[in-house]
Amino acid sequence: MLVVTNTIKVKEGAGAALAGRFTGNGGVQTMPGFVRLEVWHGAPKDGAEELKICTVWENEEAFKGWTSSEAFRQSHRGAGKNDDILGASLDKYELLARVSPGE
């Protein structure tokens, strides 16, 4: 299992609108090996907000399939032209342990 986080720093007040871009149909949801997507919103701090876009994949190959797909290109077109985005970073994590209720 692989979790990929895209941490996006945006101008204060812009987080909710940008978060809506990640809930459309026909993009990442259609990819083989995709497990789920979550969008986390941080409280405003120093005039900025932070979104964490967390995608969960069966494996690294599934994630690479997404980033090399036409659906990825379409979903990211124009992203560099958004003046509300102040910066972003991408991180990957491999699942080593999980605890669920009742375990």
Percent of the chain with pLDDT strictly greater than 70: 96
Confidence band for 80, pLDDT divided at 50, 70 and 90: low
Q: What is the CATH number of the domain that holds 41?
A: 3.30.70.100
Q: Which domain holds residue 51?
A: 2-94
Q: Going by C-beta distance under 8 Å and a sequence separation of 6 or more, which residues neighbour residue 14? A: 49, 84
Cα-flanking dihedrals φ and ψ of residue 10, to 5°?
-130, 165
Domain assignment of residue 102, yes or no: no
Domain assignment of residue 100, yes or no: no
pTM of the entire predicted model: 0.85
How many domains, the chain?
1
Other CB atoms closer than 10 Å to residue 99's CB: what's the count? 6
